[in-house]
Structure 1
Amino acid sequence: MSFLMAKDTISGQSGRAYATINGIVEEMFYVKKFEAKAKKNKKEIRTLGKNATQNKANGFAGTGTMTIYYVTSKFRELMLQYTKYGIDTYFDIQITNEDPTSSIGSQTTTVKGVNIDELTIALLDVDAETLEEEVSFTFDDWDMPNQFVSPTLGQ
């Protein structure tokens, strides 16, 4: 019986993140957690001859959150531009998962058209050892220029 070898699981710390904002690439060394999800929009369809309601996909909605250490003003600057002047910024985030111990290689995902929904504009917490903030966003496209390969299985 074959099994997944523990060395092929991906360490959460083994990766990189980059944001491309207004043509400038910024390494996002301050990301603690990043999660982007694509959810299909579905329309219910009822037809003759079938009692069950069927579903048909008709697009998707992209949402996400990132937890970041409170060490950058970049996203507050973008929100300030919107709240003061109505200038909204859309940008891309590229995430690469790559654990050198694993045999599966790397996977790179680019989340496109990222637009911030909500973020913290000021933060103090006397009980916190480190300050963190949660940033929620939407996106309208994504790509996966390279993917993991199948792991080498144990026997």
Structure 2
Amino acid sequence: MQTMNAKDAISASMAECYIFIGDDRYNFMQAINLEASVEKTKSEVPILGRTGKGNKSTGWKGTGSATFHYNTSIFREMLANYKKTGQDLYFDILVTNEDAGSGVGRQTVLLKDCNVDGGILTKFDADAEYLDEDMDFTFEDFEIRESFSQLPGMKI
């Protein structure tokens, strides 16, 4: 029985995150964590001769969340611009996971046309070690630009 080597677990902090807003590119090094998910939408399909219904995929929705150090005004400025003009701003997020100690290589995913759900305007906490903030967002499309290699023994 073959098992995964411990070294092939990806270190959680070994990643890069870039945000593209118009022609500007930002190294989003203040990110603490980010997670983006795809949820498939399905319709129940009645089928003659069956007691149960089938399920047919009919689309998908992309959502994400991130936590980052409270030391950038980029997203607050987006919200202020939306308040002032009614013009919403979309952006892209590029995330690469790569742990040189692992044998799986790297994975790069581009989230396209991201849009923040809202955000913190200001905050303080006299009892905290540092300030961070959470951000929820949606995205319209994505590309998997690089995929992890398969580990030895995965495909049998």
State TM-score, norm by structure 1. 0.96
Cα distance, 1:44 vs structure 2: 1.0
Cα distance, 1:152 vs structure 2: 4.0
1-structure distance, mates of 2:22, 2:31: 20
2-structure distance, mates of 1:64, 1:45: 29
Structure number with higher relative contact order (C-alpha < 8 Å, ≥ 6 residues apart): 1
2-structure distance, mates of 1:76, 1:46: 47
State TM-score, norm by structure 2. 0.95
Map of 1:56 onto structure 2: 56
Map of 2:151 onto structure 1: 151
Q: Is contact 1:43-1:57 (8 Å) kept? A: yes
Map of 2:4 onto structure 1: 4
Cα distance, 1:87 vs structure 2: 1.4
Cα distance, 1:38 vs structure 2: 0.3
1-structure distance, mates of 2:65, 2:92: 14
1-structure distance, mates of 2:100, 2:46: 50
1-structure distance, mates of 2:56, 2:152: 37
Map of 2:46 onto structure 1: 46
Unpaired stretches in structure 1, ≥5 consecutive residues: none
Q: How many residues align?
A: 153
Q: Report percent identity of matched pairs.
A: 38
2-structure distance, mates of 1:103, 1:151: 7
Cα distance, 1:94 vs structure 2: 0.3
Cα distance, 1:84 vs structure 2: 1.6
Amino acid at match of 1:141: D
SS in 2 for 1:118: coil
Q: Is contact 1:17-1:27 (8 Å) kept? A: yes
Cα distance, 1:27 vs structure 2: 0.5
Amino acid at match of 1:77: E
1-structure distance, mates of 2:94, 2:130: 25
Cα distance, 1:151 vs structure 2: 2.2
Q: Give CA deviations for 1:1-50 in whole Å, capped at 9, x if unaligned.
A: 21101111000110100001012111000000000000001111112111
Amino acid at match of 1:22: G
SS in 1 for 2:117: strand
Map of 1:30 onto structure 2: 30
Within-5 A mapping of 1:119-134: 119-134=119-134
Q: Is contact 1:65-1:135 (8 Å) kept? A: yes
2-structure distance, mates of 1:39, 1:133: 24
Name whichever of 143-152 and 131-140 sits farther off.
143-152
Map of 1:13 onto structure 2: 13
